[in-house]
Structure 1
Amino acid sequence: MKNIKRLSIGLLAIMALAVTSCKVEDPFLDNNVAPVLVDVVGAAFGAPLSAKPSVTYPLTSPSLTLAVRLLELDKTNILDHTKGIDSIPVPNVKIALTFRTEVKPNVFVTGTIGEFTSDANGLVTVPTTWDKFSIQKASEGNAAVLISNLAWTGTYKGIAFSRQSQVQAK
Structure 2
Amino acid sequence: MKNISKIVLMLLAGLSFAACEVDDPFVDRVVSPVLVQVVDSDGGASSGLSTDPTVSSVFGESTDFGIQVLELDKTNILDYTKGIDSIAVAAIEISLKFRDGADISTITTDADGVAKVIIPWSSFGVSGAGESVSLMASGTYKDQSFTKLFKLASK
Fold agreement, TM-score > 0.5: yes
Match in the other structure for 1:155: 140
Q: How many residues align?
A: 138
The answer for the alignment partner of 1:83 in structure 2 is 82
Deviation string for 1:55-101 (max 9, x for gaps)? 22233x1112221110000000001010000000111111100125x
Amino acid at match of 1:124: A
What residue number does 1:133 align with? Answer: 124
Task: Show the counterpart of 1:15.
Answer: none
Structure 1 counterpart SS, 2:71: strand
1:47 deviates by 1.9
**Percent of aligned pairs sharing the same letter:** 41
What amino acid sits opposite 1:53 in the alignment?
P
How far did 1:161 drift? 0.5
- Compare the two structures and name the one with the higher strand fraction: 1
Structure 1, unaligned runs of 5 or more: 1-19, 101-108
User: What is the alpha-carbon root mean square deviation over aligned residues?
Assistant: 2.9
Output the amino acid matched with 1:78. Answer: I
Q: Distance in 1 between matches of 2:121 and 2:67?
A: 18
3-state SS in 2 of match to 1:64: coil
TM-score w.r.t. length of structure 2: 0.74
Query: Residue 122 of structure 1 is aligned with which of 113, 125, 130?
Result: 113
Q: Is the 8 A contact 2:46 2:55 kept in 1?
A: no
Q: Pick from 35, 38, 41 the counterpart of residue 36 of structure 2.
A: 38
Q: CA deviation at 1:135?
A: 2.7
Query: Could you tell me how far apart the structure 2 residues matched to 1:46 and 1:62 are?
Result: 23
- Could you list the runs of 4 or more consecutive aligned residues of structure 1 that deviate by over 6 angstroms after TM superposition? none
Comparing 30-39 with 44-53, which one deviates more in the overlay? 44-53
Cα distance, 1:132–1:71 mapped onto 2, change above 3 Å = same
- Equivalent AA in structure 1 for residue 108 of structure 2: T
User: Residue 168 of structure 1 corresponds to which residue in structure 2?
Assistant: 153
TM-score scaled to structure 1, two decimals? 0.68
Alignment partner, residue 72 of structure 2 = 73
Does the 8 Å contact 2:96/2:135 carry over to 1? Answer: yes
Indicate the residue corresponding to 2:52 in structure 1: 52
- Alpha-carbon distance change, 153 to 146 in structure 1, aligned in 2, over 3 angstroms: same
